[in-house]
Structures are given as C-alpha cells and as structure tokens.
Structure 1
Amino acid sequence: MAETKIRPYSFEPYQPKEGEEYMSPEQLEHFRKILIDWKTELMKEVDRTLHHMQDDAANFPDPTDRATQESEFSLELRTRDRERKLIKKIDEALERIETGDYGYCETCGVEIGLRRLEARPTATQCIDCKTLDELREKQQGG
C-alpha cells in the first residue's frame, strides 16, 4: 500500500530576484504548479486504491483472511479520506491564488513566507499565528 505524500514531490525552491515583490506573478505561478502537481499525484493514488480494492475484493471463506482484508481496506479508506481532505485544502489554496489572498496570513495579514509555503503550500497562517493556535488548542484540550 502506498503511503500518503504529506508534501509535494520534487520542485526547485523559488529564488526571488532582487527587489521582486512578494507573491509576484512568477511566485504565484510557482505555487500554482506545486499545488496542481501535488493534486495530480494524490488523484493518481486515489485511483490506484480504487482499482486495488476492486481487484482484491475477494470473498475469503476463511474468517481470518476476510478480517485481515477488511482491516487493510479500512486502513486504505482512512488514508484516502485524509487525501480527500488534503485535495480540498489544495483546491482552497488554488482559489486563494486566484483571489489574490494566497501567501498572506488569514489571521493577521502578514506574509506567510516563501519557504513556509514551499514546506506547506496549503498554509493559511504565518508561523506565529499557527503556533499561537496550537498553544490554545493544547490549553483547551488538556
């Protein structure tokens, strides 16, 4: 079973030109390509899983074999569910590129930063706001 890719596969880190404005058309195109390539890879994984499950869906007479297969299918479906949610986040990031909101923190409005976006192209918060949110979650949850 293939593992979910939690970040896009290979790309060249963007090297801004001297004096280049943040989220220039070239930068936006760089991130659009990363997001589209990542989504394409995830969609291929979803298709592979579907075909794998259809091909392997055997009715085992042995209850242990049947339970093992059901357990494997359940794990694959959970993985695909995470990928489906990730595809939704990718689509939302592509929408933010179109609306001109991509690359800016939805909480405080500052630049998220090229390297953070390359590490997590679906990021919607700067590292400071994200860290504060995580601290609040920990305090409320525990």
Structure 2
Amino acid sequence: MTQERLEYFKKRLEEMRDSLLEDIRTETVEEMNPFETDGDVIDEAEVLSTASLVEGLSRTQKRMLEEILKALQRIENGVYGKCIVCGEEIDEERLDAIPYAEKCRKHM
C-alpha cells in the first residue's frame, strides 16, 4: 500500500472516530434522565422503549469505535491492511468498504 493510500485510510478512520464520538456524546447528554416525563403510562412506555434503543445503538457504536481505534493503532504499528490471521494484504476494495477491516476476504 502506498503512503498516500495509507494517509487516505488514516484520515477516513479519524473522521469516522470523531463522528462516532460526537454521536455517543450527544446520546449520553440526551440519556441523562430518559425516564423523566410528565405524561401518562403510554408516554412513559415510549420513553423506556426509546432509551433501550439508544442504549443498543450506543453499544454498537462503541464496538465500532473500538474497531476503528484498533485500525488506527495498526497504522501506527505499520501493519494496517494486513490480515491478522494470515498476514496477507487485505484488498483495498475491502478496506474502501470497511476501513477498519482486520481480516482478508478468506478469513472474514
């Protein structure tokens, strides 16, 4: 992989990281007290359902953030773009689709 492509992927990963962090921060502020409502039982049930959904999304976002941070670390370690199973190069087409991919198509 060329240095130019490596910088491209690093920039994409940093943008993804920053976007996810902002989303998580926003959700955390909105979740401060999701059960504080002035409505009836139906309103409270809707708030509970929304809070559960946000919590699930947050877990997914946190997992994605971990994958992004690991990919950025692989860039720093000089092993980005190589499969963690076999050590072969990961297709750049795959990295374009999933910049934090750590396995080649064969091992995904």
Query: Which residue, out of 46, 50, 58, partners 1:68?
Result: 46
SS at structure 2 position matched to 1:95 = helix
% identical equivalent positions: 31
Query: Which residue, out of 62, 79, 83, partners 1:84?
Result: 62
**Alignment partner, residue 4 of structure 2:** 26
Distance across 1 between alignment mates of 2:20 and 2:91: 25
In the TM superposition, residue 44 of structure 1 has moved relative to its aligned partner by 1.3
**Alignment partner, residue 85 of structure 2:** 107
Normalising by the residue count of structure 1, what TM-score does the alignment of the two structures yield?
Answer: 0.70
**Alignment partner, residue 15 of structure 1:** none
In the TM superposition, residue 60 of structure 1 has moved relative to its aligned partner by 3.5
Structure 2 unmatched ranges of 5 or more: none
- Larger helix share, 1 or 2: 2
Distance across 2 between alignment mates of 1:63 and 1:79: 24
Structure 1 unmatched ranges of 5 or more: 1-21, 131-142
Task: Count matched residues.
Answer: 108
In the TM superposition, residue 51 of structure 1 has moved relative to its aligned partner by 2.6
Distance across 1 between alignment mates of 2:48 and 2:9: 38
Aligned-pair Cα RMSD in Å = 1.6
In the TM superposition, residue 50 of structure 1 has moved relative to its aligned partner by 2.1
Distance across 1 between alignment mates of 2:87 and 2:39: 59
Distance across 2 between alignment mates of 1:129 and 1:53: 38
SS at structure 2 position matched to 1:49 = helix
